[in-house]
Amino acid sequence: MTFITHDLAVIGGGIHGASVALFAARAGMDVVLLDKGALAREASGTNAGTLTMQMTRAALIPYALKAHDMWVRAPEWLGHDVGVVACDGLSLAFTEAEEQLLAERAAARRTAGAPIRLVSSAEATRIEPGLNPSLRMASHCTIDGYANAYLTGVAYRRALLEAEVALREYTPVEGLDPTGTGFSVRTRTGVVAARQVVLTGGVWIEPMLAWLGIHLPIRTLVNQLSVTERTTPVMRTVVGIASGLLSLKQFPHGTVVIGGGWQGTGSRDTGHHTTTHESTVGNARLAVHAIPALRATRLVRSWTGFEAETADALPAVGPVPGVPGAWVSGSVHSGYTSAPYIAHCLVQAILGQVPDMPLFPIDRLLVQDMPAATDFTKNGTEH
């Protein structure tokens, strides 16, 4: 057989890896994409698909805004449908403490560029008639929406094949060796050679970086979601809550997805994750409190997915220190929302260009073994 050296090997076929592979191939690189399973079968295919600013960290708002614009135009650049709907978003406050939280957070995100304003209870219920009228205040953002995350895999698969990316699904990578001029990617079925490599393994970027002798602690969150049966229209916006612990939206086919980052249980080592009784009931109660009509529905399914988080809950996107030609991208926090734009910037760097917006190099996280961050109970994002 002929031994091909690819320009770029991308390890991890979620939304980040698939986007990097796609943009790099479109820029003329010969790209191979490897995944231990099928494309977008972990977090990228199982998250709630929320494309919101109101659960995004303020520092990431500029990236999320650019990415939101890309998602809305997905048919143009991706070429395939991921069911993107752009709509208004509301974040709610039911208590005085939540009002205060909401005001602080809306101000910070507005400063970062998100078009968020505080609205009265009356105005919020005009925007979203399905809301519980007992709310005290809401923050309203005109840039919000959602994708149908479970279509990510099929849409990217088509696009990647059209871009002539060599797809290697169900090919777990067992190790990675720098060769001086590139990398040998070891798989069970042989070695794949590439000049550069990008690690986009979600929660598994920690063991992937260990192949290169780098220790980057990644915390694994097990985010939980539930979905109702198809029901009559009960809402038209993306609804969240001041703390970020709720995300709710009704898809065009009528199901309502309930999320917000309530935690299930699971382990990155076994790959197994599952819901908990407490989180299912707690999240459902919060959802029904926000949209009372949900009380009359049936809950059909709950599921979980891993989300990766660094010690400072900011992304790990950039070159791997001390290993020329190796790159990493993950733990993006608003990971699904921001992925296409983060990938765009990373591919610019890989091509030797200056990225349109700065990357998030991991050097800051490697200086010493970081103490546990003050608050790991995050939840949110759209996962």
Partner 1 sequence: MTEFADLLVLGAGPAGAEAALAADHAGLRVVLLDEAPAAGGQVWRAPRTHAARTRSDADQTRGRDLRGRLDASGVQVRTGTQVWDAVPGFCLSCVSERGATRFQAPRLVLATGATERVRPFAGWTTPGVFGLAAATAMMKAEGRLAGRNIIVAGQGPLLIAVAAKACAMGVPPRAIVDLNGRGDWLSAVSGFAAAPGLLLTGLKWMARIVAARVPILHGADIVRALGDDTLDAVIVRDRASGQETRLAADTLYVGNGLTPADEIHRLLGAAQVADALRGGYRTLCDADRRSSVPGLYVAGDGAGVHGAFPSAAQGRIAGLAAAHDHGALSAADFARASRHARGQLKRLMRFADASCRLMQFPEDSLQDIRGDTVICRCEDVTVDQIRAASGDGACDLNQLKHFTRLGMGPCQGRMCALNAAGVLRRLAVDAGRDLRLTPRAPVRPVEMAQLIGTFAYSDIPVPKPAPL
Q: Give the residue, chosen from 223, 302, 329, 331, that forms a contact with partner 1 under the rule CB under 8 A.
A: 302
Nearer to partner 1 by C-beta: 269 or 354?
Answer: 269
Residue 105 touches partner 1, criterion: CB under 8 A = yes
- Dihedral over Cα of 212, 218, 220, 221: its sign: negative
Nearer to partner 1 by C-beta: 19 or 304?
Answer: 304
Residue 298 touches partner 1, criterion: CB under 8 A = yes
Residue 245 touches partner 1, criterion: CB under 8 A = yes
Residue 313 touches partner 1, criterion: CB under 8 A = yes
Residue 103 touches partner 1, criterion: CB under 8 A = no
Q: 336: which 2 tokens?
A: 């699904």
Nearer to partner 1 by C-beta: 40 or 208?
Answer: 40
Half-sphere exposure for 106 (CA within 13 Å, toward CB): 25
The Cα 288–Cα 256 span in angstroms is 11
Q: Give the residue, chosen from 244, 266, 315, 335, that forms a contact with partner 1 under the rule CB under 8 A.
A: 244
Nearer to partner 1 by C-beta: 236 or 289?
Answer: 289
Q: Which stretch binds partner 1 (CB under 8 A): 83-91, 147-155, 200-208, 353-361?
A: 147-155
Q: Kind of pairing, strands 85-93 and 116-120?
A: unpaired
Nearer to partner 1 by C-beta: 188 or 285?
Answer: 285
Residue 303 touches partner 1, criterion: CB under 8 A = yes
Q: Give the residue, chosen from 13, 17, 45, 201, that forms a contact with partner 1 under the rule CB under 8 A.
A: 45
Q: Which stretch binds partner 1 (CB under 8 A): 63-71, 209-217, 351-359, 371-379?
A: 371-379
Quick one: 103 exposed, middle or buried, by C-beta within 10 A (0-12, 13-18, 19+)?
middle
The Cα 2–Cα 232 span in angstroms is 57
Residue 177 touches partner 1, criterion: CB under 8 A = no
Q: 268: which 2 tokens?
A: 């990155």
Nearer to partner 1 by C-beta: 20 or 55?
Answer: 55
Residue 55 touches partner 1, criterion: CB under 8 A = yes
Half-sphere exposure for 88 (CA within 13 Å, toward CB): 17
Residue 27 touches partner 1, criterion: CB under 8 A = no
Which residues, at least 6 apart from 112, have a Cβ–Cβ distance to it below 8 Å?
Answer: 58, 59, 61, 62
Residue 268 touches partner 1, criterion: CB under 8 A = no
Q: 5: which 2 tokens?
A: 């050296």
Residue 58 touches partner 1, criterion: CB under 8 A = yes
Q: 382: which 2 tokens?
A: 């759209």
Report residue 233: phi and psi, to 5°: -60, 125
Edge-to-edge, what's the strand order for the sheet holding 238-241?
Answer: 116-120, 137-146, 85-93, 238-241, 247-250, 256-259, 219-228
Nearer to partner 1 by C-beta: 54 or 237?
Answer: 54
Residue 239 touches partner 1, criterion: CB under 8 A = no
Asked if 203 and 218 touch (Cβ cutoff 8 Å), the reply is: yes
- Dihedral over Cα of 222, 271, 52, 151: its sign: negative
Report residue 200: phi and psi, to 5°: -130, 55
Asked if 330 and 16 touch (Cβ cutoff 8 Å), the reply is: yes
Residue 95 touches partner 1, criterion: CB under 8 A = yes
Residue 94 touches partner 1, criterion: CB under 8 A = yes
Residue numbers of the site for partner 1 (CB under 8 A)? 38-41, 45, 55, 57-58, 94-95, 101, 104-105, 108, 150-151, 153-154, 157-158, 169, 227-230, 241-245, 253, 255, 261-263, 274-278, 280-282, 284-286, 288-289, 294-303, 313, 375, 377-381
